[in-house]
Homo-oligomer: A and B are copies of this chain.
Amino acid sequence: MKDKTFLMIPGPTPVPESVLLSMAKHPIGHRSTEFSALLKDVYADLKTVFGTENEVLVFTASGTGAMDAAISNLVNPGDKVLSLVIGNFGERWAKISEMKGAIVTRLEVEAGCAINPDEVKKILDADVNKEYKIVTLTHNETSTGVTNDVKTIVSIIKEHGAVSVVDGVTSLGALPCKMDEWGIDVLVSGSQKGFMIPPGLSFLAASKKAWELHEKCLNPSFYFNWKQNRKSVIDASTAWTPAVNLFVGLNTALQMMKEEGLENIWERHRKIGTALRAGVKAIGLKLLAKDEKYASNSITAILPPEGISVPDIRKVMKNDYDIVVANGQNKLKDKIFRMGTLGFVSERDTITAIGALEATLNKLGYKFELGSGVAAVIKSLAE
């Protein structure tokens, strides 16, 4: 059946109809007073979602663009960077930094684990000469479904004095993330996740300390240039021609987010993530997250039952039940599948997802008590 597909990948995520329709209009001129008024609202609302008084820069680019925008405005060749790596996206910070000429030290953990803040403290305490200029980390690791304790880690980085650079691509607008309160120096995110719009926009905010480090950056990016882009935010404008239609969609989505309320959005994600995991476990499947206390509420990484392959699960889920779930990435390919519950996702979707997963596993010959997953979801949601 056409047009039935429902995305439960970690992004792009489902987009509300009102957002899609608001985007389906002729672009308006990006230097018009009408667009400038829209930008003013968008910039103000983004500050709320980021939990910051800093200006939030918006780039016409994907989340990786905002990550590049962070590093390429801070790093000079030869600078020392500490990268906390719990999966692919943590590794991406390290790679971007190396591309810019940084000397990168990695603190890496096994897939499914979070960073232990004590380990970070040990490394930074040993850095008595304050050689590390920057520490990069991932709030919510999309490749493993693990959420780092950013609040604690950032407080340790703050004590050391390095600039903390945090990937909030799959956390902002889904999981609690409070830039100013937690003392995050640079925070980036993307549009096709918690923000419920199609991919193409990404966001970055920087603290005063980060701006001071930026001042020392010799050859910052032109397109992603912080100064140029901040000037435009203050002028309710954009530095370059923006993806006008995506901005219109973003404005619609931000209104929806305001109506629901940020705390309620976080609570919805917590509830749904918890219920999804309850369903998965009730069927007898294992989570990749070694400890449920750091299992992500926006992305759940699941090991298939023995003897049943990830590609088969994905194929039946897609062909028979029109739900797209993601494979693992790189080393985790065919070892796990990932379900996103991120953005425009409801309790009903969680029941649907576990119901379809049950039907899929049943077809593939896995033996379990039919209905046990859905029952666990319903019970968890009712708590």
Contact = CB atoms under 8 A, between A and B. Distances in A.
B192 A241 contact: yes
A13 to B, nearest CB: 8
A220 B95 CA distance: 12
B101 A219 contact: yes
Interface in A209-240: 218-225, 239-240
Contacts of A28: 5, 7, 12
A137 to B, nearest CB: 18
Contact of A222 (B68, B77, B239, B244): B68
A4 to B, nearest CB: 10
A129 interface: no
Given A29-B326, A61-B65, A198-B245, 19 more contacts: A7-B26, A12-B27, A12-B30, A23-B24, A24-B24, A29-B324, A59-B61, A61-B223, A64-B240, A64-B241, A65-B223, A67-B222, A69-B223, A72-B222, A100-B219, A192-B244, A198-B243, A199-B244, A243-B243
A190 interface: yes
Contacts of A190: 241
A11 interface: yes
A contact patch SS: loop
B11 A199 contact: no
B20 A101 contact: no
Contacts of A221: 68, 72, 99, 221
Q: Most chain-B CB neighbours within 10 Å: which of A224, A241, A245, A324?
A: A241
Given A64-B241, A71-B222, A5 B26 contact: yes
A62 B198 contact: no
A25 interface: yes
Contacts of A63: 240-241
7 contacts: A12-B30, A21-B24, A31-B326, A64-B240, A95-B222, A100-B219, A192-B244
